[in-house]
């Protein structure tokens, strides 16, 4: 249920998919520089709490998801470098059900009956979908073919701009998900480039060890906010009176 006064805030859940968040996933998100790193399974509980908060305190929630085919530039089944190319993962466009299953949003945060913005959607499609989402209070799923949602689904910019116009005023975007140093990074910095204020939930993201986490959080704090799940709990208590 949407709370009163939440019309200028949306949730943005980055790539909370089976292949990323399960240890047996095809591209489990784990810090590759730290043998003791438990990996992204550790973030499922705080991410779940964050998504529950989004559903109660945001106008609507947007999910992004890698939706790959073997022909995508970032897929390399032979010699991935784990920076610009990766093994096949989140193969949402595969005809093989076992491969395609890895693209599903994990059950803990999966949206019910989302409105889907496919990778080949036009800007007009995106604007129509945004209007329908606001009318219904429905979640949105953006399927993308690149790390960056704005290049991996070019209609994403039109969708976000339309949401901002429909919801009114400055739009704060609450960001959580994986991987912190790849798709989350592109999402946060893409939001900033488009004039939005991102708020990253620090303990609801996880990374691959490609960049120091504190350096990323410090950079994002200069252009938006970095908070903890505890801050969301405190806000919820204050809103409840």
pLDDT, residue 236, reads 84
Which tens digits make up the pLDDT trace of 169-193? 789 999 999 999 999 999 999 999 9
Domains of the chain: 9-240 (3.40.50.850)
pLDDT, residue 8, reads 86
Cβ neighbours around 138 below 10 Å, total:
16
Which tens digits make up the pLDDT trace of 129-163? 999 999 999 999 999 999 999 999 999 999 999 99
How large is the average pLDDT for residues 38-47? 98
CA distance linking residue 194 with residue 155, whole number of Å: 13
Closest alpha carbon to 175 in 154, 189, 162 = 189
As a residue count, the chain comes to 241
How large is the average pLDDT for residues 69-93? 94
pLDDT-derived band of residue 168, with 50, 70 and 90 as boundaries? confident
The answer to whether the bond into 56 is cis (omega within 30° of 0) is no
């Amino acid at each position: 249920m949407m709370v009163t006064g939440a019309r200028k805030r949306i949730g943005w859940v980055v790539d909370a998919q089976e292949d990323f968040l399960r240890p047996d996933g095809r591209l489990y998100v784990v810090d590759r520089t730290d043998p003791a790193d438990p990996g992204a399974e550790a973030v499922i509980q705080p991410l779940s709490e964050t998504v529950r908060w989004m559903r109660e305190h945001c106008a609507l929630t947007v999910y992004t998801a890698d939706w790959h085919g073997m022909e995508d530039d970032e897929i390399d089944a032979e010699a991935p470098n784990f920076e610009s190319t990766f093994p096949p993962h989140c193969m949402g466009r595969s005809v093989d059900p076992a491969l395609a299953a890895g693209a599903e949003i994990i059950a803990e945060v999966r949206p019910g009956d989302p409105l889907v913005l496919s990778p080949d959607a036009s800007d007009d499609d995106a604007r129509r979908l945004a209007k329908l989402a606001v009318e219904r209070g429905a979640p949105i799923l953006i399927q993308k073919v690149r790390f960056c949602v704005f290049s991996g689904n070019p209609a994403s910019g039109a969708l976000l701009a339309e949401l901002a116009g429909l919801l009114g005023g400055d739009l704060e975007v609450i960001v959580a998900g994986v991987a912190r140093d790849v798709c989350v990074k592109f999402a946060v910095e893409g939001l900033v480039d488009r004039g939005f204020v991102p708020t990253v939930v620090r303990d609801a993201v996880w990374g691959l060890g490609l960049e120091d986490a504190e350096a990323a959080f410090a950079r994002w704090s200069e252009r938006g906010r970095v908070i903890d799940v505890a801050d969301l709990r405190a806000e919820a208590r204050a809103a409840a009176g």
